Amino acid sequence: MDKQQFWQLIEQAKRRSGGDVEEQAEHLQEKLATLLPEEIIAFEDMFQHLMHEAYQSNLWAAAYIILGGCSDDGFEYFRAWLIARGQKVFETALAEPDSLAKIIKVDDAEESEAESMLYVARMAYEEQSGKDDFDKVTTRYSLPAIDLNWGDNEQKIIEMLPKLSRKFA
């Protein structure tokens, strides 16, 4: 499965769900369960690659602003949500995290986490293959050390992400 196929599956599920990330995860799991086990594994490998790619200090700062604080688990759910929003949002956010100010409404900030997206491939694989060896057959990336040079220093965060800081002040 290449990136284009991956993003097509994400976008199809997003359209079917009307943007509701929980429904999106359900639709995605249903679709993945119709694929061959090796295709599901390839989907998960791409998902993990993108989760790793999004493991950046400036994105964590964005999640911190949007969510009013952000633990390591919260940042994982945020990155899964970012993938669920689709290729354009994901790639734009990686290049410019402050761009998220355009797509997230203050009232919907708590919805910018998608823990359920972390499990869709596992559930589809187990349903399709009848096996429980998912962790043995998928790639797991070790997360790099990350320097949260902004810490909880509000002034640094404002300088890094002025649009998000103003919106969520």
- pLDDT tens digit string along 86-119? 999 999 999 999 999 999 988 888 889 999 999 9
What phi, psi does 164 have (nearest 5°)? -65, -40
Q: What is the pLDDT of residues 27-75, one digit of tens each?
A: 999 999 999 999 999 999 999 999 999 999 999 999 999 999 999 999 9
> Checking phi first, is residue 130 left (phi over 0); if not, alpha (psi -120 to 50) or beta?
left
Ranges assigned E (strand) in the chain: none
145 near 138, Cβ under 8 Å?
A: no
Whether the per-residue pLDDT at 136 is higher than 90: the answer is no
What's the pLDDT score for residue 128? 92
Q: Tokens representing 56? A: 């950046």
What's the pLDDT score for residue 101? 96
What's the pLDDT score for residue 76? 96
Whether the per-residue pLDDT at 166 is higher than 80: the answer is yes
CA angle 140, 41, 7 (to 5 degrees): 95
CA angle 55, 141, 93 (to 5 degrees): 25
Q: C-alpha distances in angstroms, 8 versus 40, 83, 87, 116?
A: 14, 12, 9, 19
Whether the per-residue pLDDT at 153 is higher than 80: the answer is no
Mean pLDDT of the chain: 93
What's the pLDDT score for residue 151? 74
**Alpha-carbon gap, residue 32 to 45, rounded angstroms:** 13
**Alpha-carbon gap, residue 49 to 128, rounded angstroms:** 23
Task: Find the farthest-apart pair of alpha carbons in the chain and give their distance in angstroms, rounded.
Answer: 52
Whether the per-residue pLDDT at 138 is higher than 90: the answer is no
Taking residues 114-138, report their average pLDDT. Answer: 92
**Alpha-carbon gap, residue 155 to 90, rounded angstroms:** 26
pTM: 0.93
Confidence of residue 19 (pLDDT cuts 50, 70, 90): confident
What's the pLDDT score for residue 155? 85
What percent of the chain is predicted at pLDDT more than 70? 99
Q: Tokens representing 67? A: 């969510």
